[in-house]
Amino acid sequence: MRWGVVQSKTNMTENLKTQDADNLVTIANKFTLQGKVTAVQAFGNGNINDTFLITLDSQEEQHFVLQRINTQVFRQPQLIMRNMCLFTEHIYQRLQYSPLSRRWEVPRVLLTKDSQEYWREADGSFWRAISFIESAQSFDTMGDRSHAQEIGYALGMFHNLISDLPPEKLADTLEGFHITPLYLQHYQEVLAKTRPRQSPEVNYCLQFVSDRSGWANILENAKATNHLPLRLMHGDPKINNVMFDTVTQQAVSMIDLDTVKPGLVHYDIGDCLRSGCNRAGEETEQWESVYFDTDLCQGILQGYLSVAKAFLTDNDYAYIYDAIRLIAFELGLRFFADYLAGNVYFKVKHSEHNLARAIVQFKLTESIESQETTIRNIIRDLK
Ligand code: GN1
Ligand code: MG
């Protein structure tokens, strides 16, 4: 399922158990200032948090997004909410001051009736509400080239709108996020404690990681030596986190803002491209069909640079290829380490799910590596 427009009123318990739906209505009511909750649906396909779409009988806000933050992953979820309030307010002010000539929306934090940024249940679960972008939808895989350009534009616009907010204003809500050498270290620790079941797939992954471990610190080295500056980033700009207007088919928003924090814009560029240029999608099990589409890469980068050219330096361009290769590899490594650790981080549908996901990312990395010259030429020609 992807984020999309609600076509019709759904039954309150359509995809939830009655008791769960009742609890969710009670929690949703902590946030709603107007209107009655008329429906609750499980929503989106996130790997970490639990997401629900709430429908109201209000004229003003017809829907909102209710989420339970995974506090095993985000240990200080209140910092996420503080960050979100800070940067969404910053963007809102900027857009008031210099409006764009096209539709662009920023999800808003909805406060509780007591004006709090979140609601904590007695069992410790952490809930928050975010405004819903109406008349918009997202996609799990890429359509045509203009779709690719819009995805790139959305990331560029997002970076642009936070580029004048000093990175140190935002808290680090997920330490180690996208620091590849730390994922590698964690993987090695897990590996030392586990005896993975031998199979051609597991052996492929073990060899794949081992062959690339010397290179995994390329972006961290660039950061440490000031070749790449610390900036604010989105953290998770994968294709289905970009919302498209259902009529104009233009990108109108970037959602999933939990990981907006100090980092490298290269993590985002890499994540956006590894996700957008994989036509088979990250959940496929047809590994032989996974490849990196360089036409889509050209489209995304063209859209991105149409906005980001203004703030990128020569060094930034020099590391774009490595970022694409690294973030695909890193996600494969994260999935594989989680498979070895017993699936403790990413939600899974079956015990081999993270292994399958890892292979997709490693196949994608191979495809990126085999097209290095083409990708570097695309970057050079767009500069
Ligand atoms: C996770 O939960 P979701 O789907 O928005 C993960 C991302 C991965 C992504 C892969 C906080 O995002 O880093 O790229 O899965 N988020 C976190 O689909 O680890
Ligand atoms: Mg996310």
Q: Are residues 220 and 116 in the same domain?
A: no
How far is the centre of ligand 1, averaged over its atoms, from the C-alpha of 57 (Å)? 32
pLDDT per residue over 227-280, tens digit each? 999 999 999 999 999 999 999 999 999 999 999 999 999 999 999 999 999 999
Q: Are residues 239 and 321 in the same domain?
A: yes
- Tell me the CA distances in angstroms from 256 to 234, 235, 366, one per residue in order: 9, 9, 28
323 in a structural domain: yes
How far is the centre of ligand 2, averaged over its atoms, from the C-alpha of 48 (Å)? 7
User: How many domains are there within the chain?
Assistant: 2
Contact 58, 35 (CB under 8 A): yes
pLDDT per residue over 130-155, tens digit each? 999 999 999 998 999 999 999 999 99
How far is the centre of ligand 2, averaged over its atoms, from the C-alpha of 313 (Å)? 28
pLDDT per residue over 146-183, tens digit each? 999 999 999 999 999 999 999 999 999 999 999 999 99
Q: Are residues 122 and 173 in the same domain?
A: no
Q: What's the CATH code of the domain at 82?
A: 3.30.200.20
Task: Determine the atom of ligand 1 nearest the C-alpha atom of 45.
Answer: 4
Last residue of a domain, one of 93, 110, 134: 134
Ligand 1, atom 8: closest residue by C-alpha: 236
Q: Are residues 50 and 161 in the same domain?
A: no
Amino acid of residue 175: E
**Can you read off the two tokens belonging to residue 106?**
């920023």
Task: Determine the atom of ligand 1 nearest the C-alpha atom of 331.
Answer: 14
Whether residue 25 has its Cβ less than 6 Å from ligand 1: no
d(CA 246, CA 112): 30
Q: What's the CATH code of the domain at 350?
A: 3.90.1200.10
Task: Say what the pTM is.
Answer: 0.94
140 in a structural domain: no
Whether residue 260 has its Cβ less than 6 Å from ligand 1: no
**Can you read off the two tokens belonging to residue 129?**
């509400």
139 in a structural domain: no
Last residue of a domain, one of 108, 134, 160: 134
Which residues are bridge partners to 54 per DSSP? 40, 64
Q: Are residues 20 and 111 in the same domain?
A: yes
Residue 191 has pLDDT above 50, yes or no: yes
Q: Are residues 175 and 45 in the same domain?
A: no
Greatest distance between any 2 Cα atoms in the chain: 60
Whether residue 70 has its Cβ less than 6 Å from ligand 1: no
Residue 9 has pLDDT above 70, yes or no: no
Per the structure, the complete domain to which residue 252 belongs is given by 145-382
Ligand 1, atom 14: closest residue by C-alpha: 236
Q: Are residues 67 and 207 in the same domain?
A: no
